[in-house]
Amino acid sequence: MDIKVVLSNKDTAYIIRNLFPLFLHDLSEFDGTLPNEHGILEPAPVQTLVEQGEIFKNRWETPNVFFPFLIFVDGRPAGFDLIATQPYAPSSIDYFVHDFFLLHPYRGKGIGEWAATEVFKKFHGRWEVHVQLNNLRAQAFWRKTIAKYISGQFQEEIGRTPLYADDMVIFRFNNREAAP
């Protein structure tokens, strides 16, 4: 299996835009989001998936703020890992896993762990990952992935952040001293 993590650009942004509705559908199981009046899982009154994609186009227009990584397996898009920095991250950290998604056929095979770790290695500093309280599978994934990557040197707590209205499981770690 050939796994690659590649920084997306404006030419490949459409791949993340194609995968994003699937990500939102997965999250709706945990956050209860319902489709808007046009059938789009989006609180904004957008009528098409193209319009929805325009909402987050800033991920490709703000270099050194957003880092939208694509995950490929055997040359096919398998998911994405969207990393944010200030001002789209909590003020006390350097890097924030804003969105992470892996298509169902690729889950449970070590692909997500490998991809997340590769992205962690690209940026050294203080990190946070937020997971919904009722998303036990994601909590287990991040707990295992971060613990293995940082040799168990991480913090986990339940709390609120300025980014979310509800309590979240918050994973924090610092890889500033990690080898490149």
pLDDT in tens, 123-166: 999 999 999 999 999 999 999 999 999 998 999 999 987 767 78
Q: What is the structure's pLDDT at 180? A: 56
Q: Which residue has the tokens 């203080």?
A: 126
CATH class of 3-174: alpha beta
Q: Residue-wise pLDDT tens for the chain (180 aa)?
A: 999 999 999 999 999 999 999 999 998 888 888 888 888 888 788 888 887 877 777 777 887 899 999 999 999 999 999 999 998 888 889 999 999 999 999 999 999 999 999 999 999 999 999 999 999 999 999 999 999 999 989 999 999 877 677 889 999 999 987 655
Task: Report strand pairing: 164-174 vs 95-102.
Answer: unpaired
Neighbour count for residue 173 (Cβ, 10 Å)? 23
Secondary structure (3-state) at 93 = coil
Q: What is the structure's pLDDT at 22? A: 93
B/e letters for 58-81, b = 16+ CB within 10 Å, e = fewer, are ebbeeeeebbbbbbbbeeebbbbb
Q: What is the structure's pLDDT at 93? A: 92
Across-strand partners of 82?
Answer: 68, 99
Q: What is the structure's pLDDT at 47? A: 84
Q: What is the structure's pLDDT at 143? A: 97
